[in-house]
Every structure is written in structure tokens, then in C-alpha cells.
């Protein structure tokens, strides 16, 4: 799946503006749903956290 970076966006994680951002999915709150965008450093950090979580799940004892 090809990622579509958007030039001149705003990162919802670090609040940087005017940077390339990637849509990561919808965010849902009690008020409604909005698109979640992140810049490259934030996307990398989120991906690292996902990998950490997946690794932890792989090593967790079965219930």
C-alpha cells in the first residue's frame, strides 16, 4: 500500500505546521470524528511504539 504524504500539512502529534504529513486514520471523540495526520518523525515514533506493542504481545504468556 502506497502512502500518500500531503505537503504543507499540520502534525496532530507535535503541532508542526507546513510540513509533509501522512494520514494515519480517523480519530473518534464524543464530539465526532476527524482525520489524524502526523509528520515523518512522529510517524516513525508511532511505528516504533506499534512494533514494541506487537513484540510484547508475541512474548506474553497465553491465557
Q: What is the pTM of this model?
A: 0.80
Quick one: DSSP state of residue 42? Answer: H
Q: Going residue by residue through the chain (63 aa), what tens digit of pLDDT does each one get?
A: 688 999 999 999 999 999 999 999 999 999 999 999 999 999 999 999 999 999 998 776 766
Q: How many residues does the chain have?
A: 63
- Number of structural domains, the chain? 1
User: Alpha helices, DSSP H only, in 1-63?
Assistant: 40-59
pLDDT at 1: 66
C-alpha cell belonging to residue 18? 507546513
Domain coverage including residue 32: 5-59
Amino acid at each position: 500500500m502506497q502512502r500518500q504524504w500531503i505537503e504543507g500539512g499540520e502534525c496532530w502529534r507535535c503541532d508542526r505546521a507546513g510540513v509533509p504529513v501522512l494520514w494515519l486514520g480517523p480519530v473518534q471523540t464524543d464530539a465526532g470524528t476527524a482525520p489524524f495526520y502526523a509528520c515523518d518523525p512522529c510517524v516513525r515514533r508511532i511505528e516504533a511504539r506499534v512494533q514494541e506493542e506487537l513484540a510484547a504481545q508475541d512474548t506474553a504468556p497465553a491465557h
